[in-house]
Amino acid sequence: MTDTLQAALSPRTRPATPGPLSASRTFGWRAMLKIKHVPQQLLDVTAVPIMFTLLFTFLFGGALAGSTSAYAQFAIPGILVQTVVFITMYTGVAINTDISKGVFDRFRSLAVWRPSLILGGLSADLARYTFAGAIVFVLGVALGFRPESAPGVVAAMALLLLFALCLTTIWIIFGLVMQTPEGVMNAAMMILFPLVFTTNIWVSESTMPGWLQAVVKVNPVTRVVIAVRELMDGTVNAGNIGWALLSCVAVAAIFAPITMLLYNRKLRS
């Protein structure tokens, strides 16, 4: 081993440090490799939404809307939002796993552009969100969901991805602060369940008591669901799109600065 070792160690020139884009792409490549090596990740992302979709449309569809397909027409855009919103927490889990294993030390001892680890991870997350969204959409169509506008579907998905990225900033904070990946997941669930269920995803808020209607109306997820529904139905109301975008911006404006602060502190304490 010694000869090849000596040869492998022979001094060579130091390459220039990669730029922000190159470093982010490398981290994105790493995150995609993880999907390849641990395909269970995708199972988590797809099995639960499939179950939810089938359960609600078949079990409650008749009672809530008269038929499975009629309920699918109402509920699928919301289920799409719910699906993607739930899996945003895995970003926080991934960051926490990197930190609790030693590999984070390797990354921060390199002279790469600091946010590239997060941005690279997000690029793979977008692929994951799109994949999960596509599964729900196809299943929905099979159950009788008929979107009215193809460009509307694309726009709705784009809006949903934007919202998902903004939400991610919250889970990254959890990932930086909590001790274990399980802790991140539990804490995220505590927030995600009320966040996703106090909305108009499953039933119209008009059926709820007044105080709950008020809660549902200020929930940013509700705002996104309304916009996604309208975009897919082709009944776009500029005001509701504006509310949805404002919800994205509000979430990001509150949490992104905290995320960056904690991240920079974690890089060097």
For residue 73, how many other CB atoms are within 10 A of its CB?
22
- Rounded distance between C-alpha atoms, residue 95 and residue 184, angstroms: 10
Which of these segments, 28-36, 128-136, 140-148, 219-227, binds another protein (CB under 8 A)?
Answer: 28-36
CB closer to another protein, 13 vs 206:
13
Q: Is 266 a residue that touches another protein (CB under 8 A)?
A: no
- Rounded distance between C-alpha atoms, residue 151 and residue 155, angstroms: 6
Contact (CB, 8 A) for 86 and 48: yes
Contact (CB, 8 A) for 136 and 54: no
Alpha-carbon torsion, ordered 142, 143, 147, 153, to 10 deg: -60
The count of chain residues that interact with another protein, using the rule CB under 8 A, is 39
User: Using CB under 8 A, which of 39, 63, 109, 238 touches another protein?
Assistant: 109
- Rounded distance between C-alpha atoms, residue 160 and residue 107, angstroms: 31
Q: Is 39 a residue that touches another protein (CB under 8 A)?
A: no
CB closer to another protein, 67 vs 180:
180
Q: Is 106 a residue that touches another protein (CB under 8 A)?
A: yes
Residue with tokens 């929930």: 219
Which of these segments, 50-58, 104-112, 128-136, 155-163, binds another protein (CB under 8 A)?
Answer: 104-112
Q: Is 18 a residue that touches another protein (CB under 8 A)?
A: yes
Q: Is 63 a residue that touches another protein (CB under 8 A)?
A: no
- Rounded distance between C-alpha atoms, residue 187 and residue 14, angstroms: 44
- Considering only residues 111 to 170 of the shown chain, the ones binding another protein according to CB under 8 A are 111-112
User: Using CB under 8 A, which of 2, 39, 209, 210 touches another protein?
Assistant: 2
Which of these segments, 45-53, 103-111, 200-208, 235-243, binds another protein (CB under 8 A)?
Answer: 103-111
Contact (CB, 8 A) for 119 and 29: no
Q: Is 105 a residue that touches another protein (CB under 8 A)?
A: yes
End-to-end CA distance of the chain: 39
| Cβ contacts of 228 within 8 Å, gap of 6 or more | 77, 78, 80, 81, 156, 159, 160, 244
Which of these segments, 26-34, 131-139, 228-236, 242-250, binds another protein (CB under 8 A)?
Answer: 26-34
Q: Is 213 a residue that touches another protein (CB under 8 A)?
A: no
CB closer to another protein, 41 vs 198:
41
For residue 16, how many other CB atoms are within 10 A of its CB?
6
Q: Token digits for 196?
A: 């996703």
| Nearest in space to 200 (alpha carbons), one of 221, 175, 182 | 221
Which of these segments, 31-39, 74-82, 143-151, 216-224, binds another protein (CB under 8 A)?
Answer: 31-39
Q: Is 44 a residue that touches another protein (CB under 8 A)?
A: no
Q: Which residues contact another protein by CB under 8 A?
A: 1-2, 4-12, 14-18, 22-23, 26, 29-30, 33-34, 37-38, 101-112, 268-269
